[in-house]
Structure 1
Amino acid sequence: MSNILDNNQPNESGEPSASPLSIEIVTDDPLPEPDWYDRIRSAVTHAATLRGYSNGEIGIRVTNDAEIRLINARHLDHDYETDVISFAYADEPPTIEGELVVSLETAQRVAERVGWSVENELLLYVVHGTLHIAGMDDLEDDVRIEMRAAECQVMKSLGIEDIVHYGPDRIDVNVKPSSSPSEARS
């Protein structure tokens, strides 16, 4: 079963809220807490705004490892599960369009391993994917540093101060930099 929500939910007066950045969230299974939908929307909005985007559409699918593995194989020829996959369609400020897919199952596994909340881990994937859609990359060391700084800034703007301890590429002799948030913590 799928839940579909968009950014134009009724406000307190019952009127649809008008936001120039439309955010649609599709979940293969309901999220653990109802407020996660709003937190995901906020993460997308903060990441897009940081990069100069205020209009457009971003779709998010929250799925499991088996499904993200199929998407990864079908679209990127990678036969493995991953934490986040992003598809950028348009990124001409102030307009952005794209989709991202995140694995709740990976978030649960990684969050338990690194010792922070599943919600924070999932939000990190959403921020990471949105930054990719907004034109950031993390394949080379110099741009990875910029992306990690942007991730930290967005996560802190969401009230997640402990990103410096649990986020990717944290200072840890057992962790090497990677191109994906959870890979850094494998």
Structure 2
Amino acid sequence: MLEVALDADGEWDSSEQPDWAALADAAARAAIAESRYPALADAERPVELSVQLTGDEQVRALNAEWRGKDRSTNVLSFPLAEAAELANPGIDGPELMLGDIVLARGVCVAEAQEKAIPLTHHAAHLLVHGTLHLLGYDHGDDAEATDMEAREVRALARLGIPDPYATEAA
């Protein structure tokens, strides 16, 4: 049983915006479905991930503290679960915490505008990307990057969102 806990600050939380909680839930489920751990979404054991939608300054501070990079970035992921827990979500135990994903509003908006795509599509891509990081995927070398990007594209297709890498290449 997957639960996506979302906290959106004033920059994101507006009546003019889409249902960010529904988007985060759908993106996480799509990413999990395309991962090596699809059973996580329907495990009897509670599985949770946290999503924070915030401003660039808070993401900059987190990026400086945890990654040593004193600049804002579009998405940060903080995995908590071990691979053995991910592979066996049905075992008895307390709630399985996948980790935290944090998105920076200004960076996301600027990137979406630069790519000429809807903010919701870009945010969904970043949420899928962040979820895959929580599940142990990375893009540290070409093979890992190719695998992760393919999973992202398939997850986004589940959401009806076009391949963001095809958009970049065009």
Deviation by residue 1:43-92 (Cα, 9 ceiling, x = unmatched): 01111222123241100000111110001111221111101110111142
Aligned to 1:112: 113
Pairing partner for 1:73 from 56, 64, 80: 64
- Describe the SS at the equivalent of 2:169: coil
Aligned to 1:22: 3
Distance 1:148 1:155 in 2: 10
Q: What does residue range 1-186 of structure 1 map to in structure 2 within 5 Å?
A: 20-29=1-10, 30-31=13-14, 32-51=16-35, 52=37, 53-54=40-41, 55=43, 56-90=47-81, 91=83, 92-95=86-89, 97-166=98-167, 170-171=168-169
- Describe the SS at the equivalent of 2:80: strand
User: Which amino acid in structure 2 is aligned with residue 101 of structure 1?
Assistant: V
Distance 2:135 2:56 in 1: 25
Could you tell me whether the CA contact under 8 Å between 1:24 and 1:58 is conserved in 2? yes
Larger fraction in helix? 2
User: Which amino acid in structure 1 is aligned with residue 21 of structure 2?
Assistant: Y
Name the count of aligned residue pairs: 150
Could you tell me whether the CA contact under 8 Å between 1:25 and 1:37 is conserved in 2? yes
Flag structure 2 segments of 5+ consecutive residues without an equivalent: 90-95
Q: What is the TM-score when the length of structure 1 is the normalising length?
A: 0.75
Distance 2:2 2:74 in 1: 24
User: Which amino acid in structure 1 is aligned with residue 169 of structure 2?
Assistant: I
Moved over 6 A (4+): none
Aligned to 1:12: none
Flag structure 1 segments of 5+ consecutive residues without an equivalent: 1-19, 173-186
- Deviation at residue 37 of structure 1 after TM alignment: 2.0
CA RMSD in angstroms, aligned pairs only: 1.7
Please identify, of 58-67 and 96-105, the stretch whose mean Cα deviation from structure 2 is larger.
96-105
- Deviation at residue 142 of structure 1 after TM alignment: 0.8
Could you tell me whether the CA contact under 8 Å between 2:4 and 2:24 is conserved in 1? no
Could you tell me whether the CA contact under 8 Å between 1:156 and 1:163 is conserved in 2? no
- Deviation at residue 137 of structure 1 after TM alignment: 0.5
Could you tell me whether the CA contact under 8 Å between 1:69 and 1:80 is conserved in 2? yes
Q: What is the TM-score when the length of structure 2 is the normalising length?
A: 0.81
Distance 2:132 2:48 in 1: 14
User: Which amino acid in structure 2 is aligned with residue 84 of structure 1?
Assistant: V
Distance 1:28 1:134 in 2: 26
User: Which amino acid in structure 1 is aligned with residue 110 of structure 2?
Assistant: R
